[in-house]
Structure 1
Amino acid sequence: MAGRSQAVLCILLSSLAAFALVQAEDPYLFFTWNVTYGTISPMGVPQQVIMINNQFPGPNINSTSNNNLIVNVFNNLDEPLLFSWNGIQQRKNSWMEGMPGTNCPIPPGKNYTYHFQPKDQIGSYFYFPSTGFQKAAGGFGGLRTNSRLLIPVPYADPEDDYTVLIGDWYTKSHTALRKKLDAGKLLGRPDGVLMNGKTGKTGGKDDEPLFTLKQGKTYKIRICNVGIKTSLNFRIQGHSMKLVEMDGSHVVQNVYDSLDVHLGQCYAVLVTADQTPRDYYMVTSTRFTKYMLSATGIIRYVDASGAKLGGPPSSALPEAPVGWAWSLNQFRSYRWNLTASAARPNPQGSYHYGQINITRTIKILNTAGPVDGKLRYGINGVSHVDGETPLKLAEYFGVGEKVFKYNTIVDDPTDTKTIVAQPNVLNATFRDFIEIIFENTEKSIQSWHLDGYSFFPVAIETGKWSPEKRKNYNLLDAVSRHSIEVYPKSWAAIMLTFDNAGMWNLRTNLWERYYLGQQLYFSVLSPNYSLRDEYNIPDNAELCGLVKGMPMPKPYTP
């Protein structure tokens, strides 16, 4: 009996250990997306848009730090499709980045399952289609990552959590816009601005609210600019906003009447329903343009039963700020909340960025000019071209030399008047701490994004950059983020550690320029080819171009 009891006990303990091991894995969230065309009239004109599960914008993803997100995408469009997850770092996993340089697109009529984690991240993000100028047709949606319950956030839990997607909009289809760009022509001014897929209207008595508020309660509102061309200002009639997070980082909680939200950026604010109960307008409008376009959405005060309180909103809308100097001063007011207990990006410790020596400085200059008689945009004289074989796959399968060359641009360019079209790839040394300077010589504002990383924007100043400008850097509490604006005739400096192995896209957020080549890829290789640095290619990866049908390379080892 004793032997039998011991055997049963061993089996029980083994089962409990296995159960504990399974339970220790981060939770899984499953999503199934049916991506189709649909005809709606977001600006009063019927047009074709990209919908996800018959929704425009697409469904919000509500997740928690380190959750395993499983998104099964069925492509029912008539052209290839990729989704990218703007701001999600994809630690060691550029296989899921969803950019043309890293992944083969999902063919029409096929499906693909993304599996990724917002590893050690919190905050407000969004997703979008990254191929074929499809972003101009929709297919975007909010992606939020909440802190785990055991990790406190630096503010009380809000009554509710709302996402506001703002962006400029064209009434022509993305295929018509794409055809215009392929002919070497620019798109011109947008036709309007949307807020959660609608323009709204001022003075309507029966308008439905986007959100409802209860008197005295505080709400979190996440604002993301998902547009393709224009910086926007966001404000709420009669209410102030306490900024608590941007691009995945808790910030010092300053109060603002309005916020400039540049292309590709996300902000989270707390808003308290402390005004006279009635309807109020949220307003977004274009910035740094000769034209003024705007959209509105209603927030409604309701009682405990959900019944409307008070009357319609006032038609007197709050005005937007004027001039880009105001926006620059707002940027300078942002500070990282260094006392917040939360997931921090760059877990190797590079958040102590002011104490790390710079090993490389890369200057990014705009290039524009004709290639084969058609307008192209580039970086440092090279206009990026996507080929049939994604760069990451070509490199991984050992055929990179047939697809691209490394270091097609120099770090400190002097001649950017000429432009060539080819894949634009820079080789980066794993774990190097670098400085990137974005220098804007134009009269219009720019916005830049880097996949795979959060970086530290340590300065934005007018004029041209020089090494002496480093004495003005913020080396203590610059907000760790993934997108940065560069004002006209100005420069911006960022710092980061290349501690995330993979192939990562650096791009302009001005989508017509992106489509016409103003982007590059950083190849960050693990010197040890180890699973500690990078995951192996997924078994379900789409293969195309030169690597289609090739045997899988030898996998990385621990």
Structure 2
Amino acid sequence: MGAMWIVLLCLSVVTTLTVVQGEDPYLFFEWNVTYGTIAPLGVPQQVILINGQFPGPNINSTTNNNIVINIFNNLDEPFLVTWSGIQQRKNSWQDGLPGTNCPIAPGANFTYHFQVKDQIGSYIYYPTLGMQRGAGAFGGLRVNSRLLIPVPYADPADDYTVIIHDWWTKSHTTLKNILESGRSIGRPAGVLINGKVAKGDGKDEPLFTMEPGKTYKYRICNTGLKTSLNFRIQGHSMLLVEMEGSHTVQNSYESLDVHVSQCYAVLVTANKEPKDYYMVASTRFQRKEITATGIIRYTNGKGPASPELPPAPVGWAWSLNQFRSYRWNLTASAARPNPQGSYHYGAINITRTIKLANTAAKVKGKLRYAINGVSHVDATTPLKLAEYYGVADEVFKYNVIEDEPPTSIKEVTLQTIVLNMTFRTFIEIIFENHETAVQSWHLDGYSFFAVAIEAGTWSPEKRKNYNLLDAVSRHTIQVFPKSWAAILLTFDNAGMWNIRSEIWERRYLGQQLYASVISPARSLRDEYNIPDYAQLCGIVVNLPKPSPYTI
């Protein structure tokens, strides 16, 4: 009998070890990045393709998948790509920003490896060097829920990704040269939906099809350079179910304002007359509205889409009210099998308040954008590498801006901006917009609680207006003219993380910074070691590798 128990115990240990050591599934991709020529607005121009596609291929993954993407750079210039909204716990080595990674040199390749850990939702990827984002190499990245974690709606008949963005007929090199000369790139030449514009001549092929009576999920993402876009579907309402990785209270909308780098998932039911219908994307907050359309076709449709398009809303107050209608779904499960509302963020004491004010200024006669009077300049050595190799003081200085913007900015300076964030502290960040254009701000490596957007000037008394119960957890937030936005989050993800304007000419000309989050334990429990295959550049190339972190 004793021998039998020993055998059973051994089998139990073996089984346990197998489960513990077993890895989550891997998805492997190989991407060839090349130039190509297309004419989406009738003007032939050079673009950047991924595997010959514009926009790039969709990444379709499931929670906890390991994603491995081997990128071959066939351009004649360096290349980097970031995975916007993917939190990459403990792994800023894969963030794809100049502050974290060396560029992929022409003719070289680099393999990104990251895990979509404990996430669901709709995200995007795009290039981060120069103005390459204005030439393509962007696309959708979806993270589906695991089967054992239910979503708060029935499975749709199909799942579609809609990439909307502004578009210039100038090359990305020309756009970069315009900015380097000290000027703005101005307004876009047009708007595209999945890289196209319907001509409306009866010959347009549908972008998507729907079978009568069935419900479909549309993931709508704005990958543009600078323009907020309004999206609507002719004759159909949209039931909002997810926003940048969070299930939402399911309100119905006739149209949605999608600001730069934001993503929304909606359900649309094919319950109208069987024929063609237009998807419509049009510019917001500009003197002249630009509109693009794409066809949705019922499978048994018998007629063209009506030329009468649903109008876009007017004014930013409408958009502000729409933001206020968004609520986190506290009854739905997240990627983990626990209610999202179990994290009572409103009961946590704020330990630090950081106010970031955007500024447009001239430096030596050229346009620059700044935060609290400082315009960021990328260092030649990625900041994360400099910090990891112990040579940060040779590359940048910490905290060159204060938590409070100066009352008056007489002159903008050019420096590399890195803020120290104490590990696992609960921080309040206020984005102040003193200008007349809508801003869009993004934080890598985290989701934050978007607790308020209001007109006027922020003061501590404004906290009484915060949504401290069910603000949506997301990664990008807009700030309207002469307004402010407040976010709350715990800086518990060790690494070097980018806080940036998603208005890309602003980011390129200095409206960004990095948050350095260091775990005092220097432990693998908090942060991964530098990958063995990581590219090295700048002053760390010939330095000995630091001792690795251990458990």
Please give the range of the TM-score, normalised by the shorter of the 2 chains: over 0.9
Q: Give the secondary-structure state (helix, strand or coil) at the position aligned to 1:207.
A: coil
TM-score of the two chains, using structure 1 as the length reference: 0.95
Aligned to 2:459: 466
Q: Give the secondary-structure state (helix, strand or coil) at the position aligned to 1:329.
A: helix
CA contact (8 A) 1:452 1:504 kept: yes
Q: Give the secondary-structure state (helix, strand or coil) at the position aligned to 1:269.
A: strand
What is the CA–CA distance in structure 2 between the aligned matches of 1:87 and 1:471, rounded to whole Å?
29
2:236 is the counterpart of 1:243: no
Change (3 A) 1:39 1:468: same
**Cα distance, 1:196 vs structure 2:** 0.2
Aligned to 2:254: 257
Q: Give the secondary-structure state (helix, strand or coil) at the position aligned to 1:212.
A: strand
What is the CA–CA distance in structure 2 between the aligned matches of 1:484 and 1:293, rounded to whole Å?
23
Q: 1:44 aligns with which of 42, 45, 49?
A: 42
2:512 is the counterpart of 1:512: no
CA contact (8 A) 1:380 1:410 kept: yes
Task: State the identity as a percent.
Answer: 72
The one-character-per-residue Cα deviations of 1:467-507 (angstroms, maximum 9, x if unpaired) are 11111111000000000001111111110000100000000
The one-character-per-residue Cα deviations of 1:298-354 (angstroms, maximum 9, x if unpaired) are 11001xxxxx42111110011001111111000000000011012269999993110
Q: Give the secondary-structure state (helix, strand or coil) at the position aligned to 1:469.
A: helix
What is the CA–CA distance in structure 1 between the aligned matches of 2:14 and 2:331, rounded to whole Å?
41
CA contact (8 A) 2:332 2:340 kept: no
Change (3 A) 1:405 1:437: same
Q: 1:380 aligns with which of 367, 372, 377?
A: 372
The one-character-per-residue Cα deviations of 1:345-381 (angstroms, maximum 9, x if unpaired) are 9999993110000000000101222223321111001
1:191-202 matches, cutoff 5 A: 191-202=189-200
What is the CA–CA distance in structure 2 between the aligned matches of 1:193 and 1:339, rounded to whole Å?
37
Change (3 A) 1:345 1:82: farther
CA contact (8 A) 1:350 1:496 kept: no
2:446 is the counterpart of 1:453: yes
TM-score of the two chains, using structure 2 as the length reference: 0.96
Aligned to 1:31: 29
**Cα distance, 1:199 vs structure 2:** 1.8
Q: 2:401 aligns with which of 386, 394, 409?
A: 409
Change (3 A) 1:260 1:431: same
Aligned to 1:366: 358
Q: Give the secondary-structure state (helix, strand or coil) at the position aligned to 1:297.
A: strand
What is the CA–CA distance in structure 2 between the aligned matches of 1:351 and 1:456, rounded to whole Å?
11
Change (3 A) 1:424 1:438: same
Q: Give the secondary-structure state (helix, strand or coil) at the position aligned to 1:126.
A: strand
What is the CA–CA distance in structure 1 between the aligned matches of 2:327 and 2:156, rounded to whole Å?
22
Change (3 A) 1:183 1:16: same
Aligned to 1:300: 297
Q: Give the secondary-structure state (helix, strand or coil) at the position aligned to 1:58.
A: coil
CA contact (8 A) 1:80 1:107 kept: yes
**Paired AA for residue 292 in structure 2:** A
CA contact (8 A) 2:331 2:339 kept: no
Q: Give the secondary-structure state (helix, strand or coil) at the position aligned to 1:524.
A: strand
Aligned to 1:274: 271
Change (3 A) 1:530 1:233: same
1:480-491 matches, cutoff 5 A: 480-491=473-484
CA contact (8 A) 1:345 1:351 kept: no
1:92-491 matches, cutoff 5 A: 92-202=90-200, 204-302=201-299, 308-343=300-335, 351-414=343-406, 415-491=408-484
What is the CA–CA distance in structure 2 between the aligned matches of 1:399 and 1:425, rounded to whole Å?
14
**Paired AA for residue 540 in structure 1:** Y
Change (3 A) 1:346 1:455: farther
Moved more, 524-533 or 342-351: 342-351
CA contact (8 A) 1:96 1:115 kept: yes
What is the CA–CA distance in structure 2 between the aligned matches of 1:419 and 1:59, rounded to whole Å?
40
CA contact (8 A) 1:247 1:266 kept: yes
Change (3 A) 1:11 1:363: closer
CA contact (8 A) 1:366 1:416 kept: no
Q: Give the secondary-structure state (helix, strand or coil) at the position aligned to 1:474.
A: coil
**Paired AA for residue 71 in structure 1:** I
CA contact (8 A) 1:346 1:454 kept: no
Q: Which runs of 5+ in 2 are unaligned?
A: none
Change (3 A) 1:332 1:344: farther
Q: 1:543 aligns with which of 526, 536, 548?
A: 536
**RMSD between aligned alpha carbons?**
2.1
What is the CA–CA distance in structure 2 between the aligned matches of 1:225 and 1:497, rounded to whole Å?
27
**Paired AA for residue 338 in structure 1:** L
CA contact (8 A) 2:146 2:335 kept: no
What is the CA–CA distance in structure 1 between the aligned matches of 2:226 and 2:180, rounded to whole Å?
17
Moved more, 473-482 or 335-344: 335-344
The one-character-per-residue Cα deviations of 1:101-137 (angstroms, maximum 9, x if unpaired) are 0110111100000000111110000000001211010
What is the CA–CA distance in structure 2 between the aligned matches of 1:238 and 1:118, rounded to whole Å?
36
The one-character-per-residue Cα deviations of 1:511-536 (angstroms, maximum 9, x if unpaired) are 00100000000000001101111000
CA contact (8 A) 1:199 1:294 kept: no
Q: Which runs of 5+ in 1 are unaligned?
A: 303-307
CA contact (8 A) 1:365 1:416 kept: no
**Paired AA for residue 261 in structure 2:** G
Q: Give the secondary-structure state (helix, strand or coil) at the position aligned to 2:473.
A: coil
Aligned to 2:75: 77
**Paired AA for residue 537 in structure 2:** C
Q: Give the secondary-structure state (helix, strand or coil) at the position aligned to 1:411.
A: coil
**Cα distance, 1:417 vs structure 2:** 3.7
**Cα distance, 1:7 vs structure 2:** 13
**Cα distance, 1:416 vs structure 2:** 3.0
CA contact (8 A) 2:331 2:341 kept: no
What is the CA–CA distance in structure 2 between the aligned matches of 1:490 and 1:18, rounded to whole Å?
55
The one-character-per-residue Cα deviations of 1:240-264 (angstroms, maximum 9, x if unpaired) are 0000000110000000000000001
Q: Give the secondary-structure state (helix, strand or coil) at the position aligned to 2:393.
A: helix
Q: Give the secondary-structure state (helix, strand or coil) at the position aligned to 2:474.
A: coil
CA contact (8 A) 1:36 1:52 kept: yes
Change (3 A) 1:383 1:259: same
**Cα distance, 1:206 vs structure 2:** 1.8
**Cα distance, 1:549 vs structure 2:** 2.3
The one-character-per-residue Cα deviations of 1:357-412 (angstroms, maximum 9, x if unpaired) are 00000001012222233211110011111121001100000010000000010001
What is the CA–CA distance in structure 1 between the aligned matches of 2:372 and 2:455, rounded to whole Å?
20
